[in-house]
Structure 1
Amino acid sequence: MISNKKAPLTVYAPASMGNVGVGFDLLGAALAPIDGSLLGDKVRISESQGGNLAEGLSNTKGEVIFSQTGIWCHKLPSNPEDNIVYQCARFFLEKLGLHTDIAVNLEKNLPVGSGLGSSASSVVAALYGLNEYFDSPFGTQALLQLMGEFEGKISGSVHYDNVAPSYLGGMQLMLDSPTELCAAIPHFKHWYWLVAYPGVSLSTAKMRALLPAQYDKAVTIDFGRHLSAFVHASYSQNPKLAIEILKDVLAEPYRKDAIPGYIQACSALTELGMLTTGISGSGPTLFSITDDIAVAEQAKVWLAQHYVSQSGGFVHICRIDELGARRV
Structure 2
Amino acid sequence: MAVTVYAPASMGNVSVGFDLLGAALAPVDGSLLGDRVSVAAADQGLSLRCCGAYADVLPPDPASNIVLRCAERFIERLGLEGVGLKLTLEKNLPIGSGLGSSASSVVAALAALNAYFDSPLDDQALLHLMGELEGEISGSVHYDNVAPSFLGGLQLMLPERAQPVPSFDNWYWVVAYPGITLSTAKMRALLPKQVEMATAIRFGQQLAAFIDACHRQDEETALAMLQDVLAEPHRAAHIPGYQAARGHLSDLGCAAVGISGSGPTLFAVARNRAQAEAAAEYLGQHYIMNERGLVRVCQLPQQGIQIWQEDVINAAL
* TM range, smaller chain: over 0.9
Aligned to 1:95: 77
Structure 1 counterpart of 2:48, from 62, 66, 78: 66
- Counterpart of 1:81 in 2: which secondary structure? helix
Answering whether residue 255 of structure 2 is matched by residue 275 of structure 1, we say yes
Answering whether residue 141 of structure 2 is matched by residue 158 of structure 1, we say yes
Offset of 1:95 from its aligned partner?
Answer: 2.6
CA–CA distance in structure 2, aligned partners of residues 96 and 274 of structure 1: 48
CA–CA distance in structure 2, aligned partners of residues 148 and 91 of structure 1: 13
More displaced stretch, 74-83 vs 235-244 = 74-83
Structure 2 counterpart of 1:124, from 107, 110, 134: 107
CA–CA distance in structure 2, aligned partners of residues 292 and 92 of structure 1: 43
Answering whether residue 244 of structure 2 is matched by residue 264 of structure 1, we say yes
Residue 64 of structure 1 aligns with an amino acid whose one-letter code is L
CA–CA distance in structure 2, aligned partners of residues 316 and 140 of structure 1: 29
Aligned to 1:323: 303
TM-score relative to the length of structure 2? 0.95
Segments ≥4 residues shifted beyond 3 Å: none
Deviations 1:219-269 (A, max 9, x none): 000000000000000000001100111110000000000000000001100
Aligned to 2:313: none
Structure 2 counterpart of 1:143, from 110, 119, 126: 126
Offset of 1:310 from its aligned partner?
Answer: 1.7
Residue correspondence of structure 1 range 1-328 to structure 2 within 5 A: 7-48=1-42, 50=43, 63-98=45-80, 99-177=82-160, 181-328=161-308
- Counterpart of 2:25 in 1: which secondary structure? strand
CA–CA distance in structure 1, aligned partners of residues 138 and 78 of structure 2: 26
Identity over aligned residues, as a percent? 56
Offset of 1:22 from its aligned partner?
Answer: 0.2
Asked whether the 8 Å contact 1:120–1:151 carries over to 2, the reply is yes
Residue 13 of structure 1 aligns with an amino acid whose one-letter code is A
- Counterpart of 1:242 in 2: which secondary structure? helix
Unaligned runs of 5+ in 2: 309-317
- Counterpart of 1:106 in 2: which secondary structure? strand
CA–CA distance in structure 1, aligned partners of residues 169 and 154 of structure 2: 11
CA–CA distance in structure 2, aligned partners of residues 176 and 93 of structure 1: 27
Offset of 1:92 from its aligned partner?
Answer: 2.1
Asked whether the 8 Å contact 1:170–1:184 carries over to 2, the reply is yes
Deviations 1:74-124 (A, max 9, x none): 111111111110011122223323232110000000000000000000000
Aligned Cα RMSD in Å?
0.8
More displaced stretch, 72-81 vs 151-160 = 72-81
TM-score relative to the length of structure 1? 0.92
Asked whether the 8 Å contact 1:75–1:112 carries over to 2, the reply is yes
CA–CA distance in structure 1, aligned partners of residues 14 and 78 of structure 2: 36
Residue 284 of structure 2 aligns with an amino acid whose one-letter code is A
Residue 272 of structure 1 aligns with an amino acid whose one-letter code is L
Asked whether the 8 Å contact 1:14–1:321 carries over to 2, the reply is no
Unaligned runs of 5+ in 1: 1-6, 51-61
Asked whether the 8 Å contact 1:39–1:109 carries over to 2, the reply is yes
CA–CA distance in structure 2, aligned partners of residues 199 and 298 of structure 1: 20
Offset of 1:72 from its aligned partner?
Answer: 0.7
